[in-house]
Amino acid sequence: MHDQQLKQLIEAALFAADAPLSVDQLKELLVAQQISKAKIQTTLTELQQDYQNRGVQLQQVASGYRFQTRTELGSILAGLWQEKPPKYSQALLETLALIAYRQPITRGDIEEIRGVSVSSQIMKSLQERGWVKVVGQREVPGRPQLYATTAEFLDYFNVKDLAELPPIPASENAQPATATESTTAETATDQRVH
C-alpha cells in the first residue's frame, strides 16, 4: 500500500468512525494490510500537519484521534444550532477540578477543601456526563467511595492526559504535619495520604 493510500484510508476512517480511534484500533482495522504502529503514528502526524491551517483539525485526545473544528471558531459556529452550549457553575467546576487534580478523592475530601457539603446534583450530573466515576473505596470507617475522572472527561476538555492540564500548586497534605497538637482536620489530612 502506498503512503498516499494509507493516509487517505486513515483520514477516511477517522471521519467515518463514530468515536475517536486509537493507533491500536487503526492497526486492527488495517490488519490485512499489515501496517506497523510506527507507520500509522507517522501517518497521523503527517495528517495533523496537513490540517494545521484548516478549519478542521486532527486532534489527539484520551480516547484516540478525531477530527474537530478549530477551537477559536466555536463562538461563531454556535450560531448553527438553537441550543446554547452549557455553562458550568463555579461550584461544579471546583468540584470537577478537585476530582481531576486530586484524584482519587472522596466526597469528604471535597467538602473539607471547598467548605461546603457536596451537592448530590453536581455529583450526579458529573457522573451522568461520564466525566467522573467511582474507582474504589478508601479503607477507613464507612469505606467512602473514591472518585476519579474518565477518558470522556479528557476528551471533552480537549486533552489526551491529565498532565496536559495546566498545573496547580501541589497539595500541602503530603508534608508531615508540623503541629504538635493535631486537630481533627489534620487527622483527616493524614488519612488522605496513603
Partner 1 sequence: MSETPERTPKLIPEQHALPLGFVRGEPVLERPEDLYIPPDALELILEAFSGPMDLLLYLIRRHKVEIVDLPILPITQQYMTYVDMMKELKLELAADYLVMAAMLTEIKSRLLLPKPPQVEDEEVDPRAELVRRLREYEAIREGAGYLEAQPQQERDFCVVQANSDARDYVKQLPPEVSLEDLVLAFGKVMQQAQLQEHHHIHRERLSTRARMSAILDLLTQQSRVRFSEVFDTSEGKAGVVVSFLAILELSKEALIEITQIDAFSELHISKRQDQQSRVTEHA
Residues of this chain that interact with partner 1 (CB under 8 A) are 12, 15-18, 56, 66-74, 77-78, 85-86, 88-91, 93-94, 96-98, 100-102, 112-117, 155-159, 165-166, 168-173, 178-181, 183, 185-186
Looking at the Cβ atoms of 39 and 156, the one nearer to partner 1 is 156
Residue 128 or 172 with smaller CB distance to partner 1 = 172
* Phi, psi at 156, each rounded to 5°: -65, -40
Q: How far is the CB of 121 from partner 1 (least distance, A)?
A: 14
Query: How long, in residues, is the chain?
Result: 194
What grid cell was written down for 109?
Answer: 475530601
Hey, which bits of the chain come out as E strands?
56-61, 64-69, 132-137, 145-149
Q: What share of the chain is helix, strand, coil (3-state, %, to 5)?
A: 50, 15, 40
Nearer to partner 1, 37 or 73 (CB): 73
Cα within 13 Å of Cα(93), Cβ side: 6
Rounded to the nearest whole angstrom, what is the least distance from the CB of residue 40 to partner 1 in the complex? 19
Q: How far is the CB of 144 from partner 1 (least distance, A)?
A: 19
**Angle ∠(120,139,97) on CA atoms, nearest 5:** 40
Q: Which is nearer to partner 1, 102 or 133 (CB)?
A: 102
